[in-house]
Amino acid sequence: MFRFDYMDALAGALLVLLGIAVTWISVANYPLGTASRMGPGMFPAGLGVVLAFLGVILALQSLRRPGPKPDIRIFSPFFVLGGIAAFAALIVPFGLIPAIFAIIVISSLADLRIRPVSLILSCIGLSLLAPFVFVFLLGLQIPLLRWPF
């Protein structure tokens, strides 16, 4: 346990920053208009103020109470998001099958145990299943394999 709720204090500070940024961008770039003819900047500028206000309340509350220690994992989000990023980077230049292999292999690492046989089997299985559903059954035009060079 923490003596203060540090996590909420941090969250509140982030909300304040985000709110200020939103209001700043809106006021600087989009016309505010008048109350009877509102421009595109008015509504987001107001929302930014609301968000910053909520952040202040959250941060103030957090100082009055103890808070739990967060349970933060590093590898789970790293490999899951990394796998998605690999899929996004590969699908257009290299096609579907390499993208599937990349996301399955990389995201499987998040489990922190490597099981080569089941990994290979699920790569092959999904490389057959996904094209079957999306390309064959649904008739979508997704290139399966490509060489951009």
Partner 1 sequence: MDLLGSLALGLGVALTLQNLLYCFLGALLGTLVGVIPGLGVLAAISMLFPLTFHLEPTTALIMLAGIWYGTTYGGSTASILLNLPGTPANAVTCLDGYPMAKQGRGGIALFMTTVASFFGASFGIILLTLFTPVIAEYALRFGSAEYFALMLMGLVASSTISEGSAIKGLAAVTMGIIIGLVGMDTQTATIRFTFGNLGLLEGISLIALAMGIFGVAEIIMSIRRVHAADIDPESVKLKAIVPTRDDVGRSWFPMLRGASIGSFFGTLPGTGPSIAAFISYAIEKRVSKSPERFGNGAIEGIMGPESANNAADQTAFIPTLSLGVPGSATMALMLGVLMIHGVAPGPNLISDEPELFWGLIMSFWVGNIILLLLNIPLIGVWVRMLTIPYHLLYPAVLMFICLGAFTSGFSALNIWMVAGFGALGYAMRIFRFPGAPLLLGFVLGPLMEEHFRRAMVLARGDFAVFFERPISAVIMAITGLVLIWGVWSSEHLRAKRGARALEREAARRAAHHPEQEAPDGQN
Q: Which of residues 37-96 bind partner 1 (CB under 8 A)?
A: 37-40, 42-44, 47-48, 50-51, 54-55, 57-58, 61, 65-66, 68, 70-73, 76-77, 80-81, 83-85, 87-89, 91-92, 96
Contacts 24+ apart (CB under 8 A), 20-27: 20/48, 20/52, 21/48, 22/47, 22/48, 22/51, 23/48, 23/49, 23/52, 24/48
Smallest gap, in angstroms, from Cβ of residue 136 to partner 1?
13
Q: Rule CB under 8 A: say whether 143 interacts with partner 1.
A: no
User: Cβ atoms within 10 A of the Cβ of 129, count?
Assistant: 12
Q: Among 4, 118, 128, 132, indicate the residue that binds partner 1 (CB under 8 A).
A: 118
Smallest gap, in angstroms, from Cβ of residue 104 to partner 1?
5
- The binding track of 3-42 with respect to partner 1, each residue x by CB under 8 A or -, is ----xx-xx---x--x---x--xx--xxx--xxxxxxx-x
Alpha-carbon gap, residue 105 to 81, rounded angstroms: 12
Alpha-carbon gap, residue 16 to 58, rounded angstroms: 10
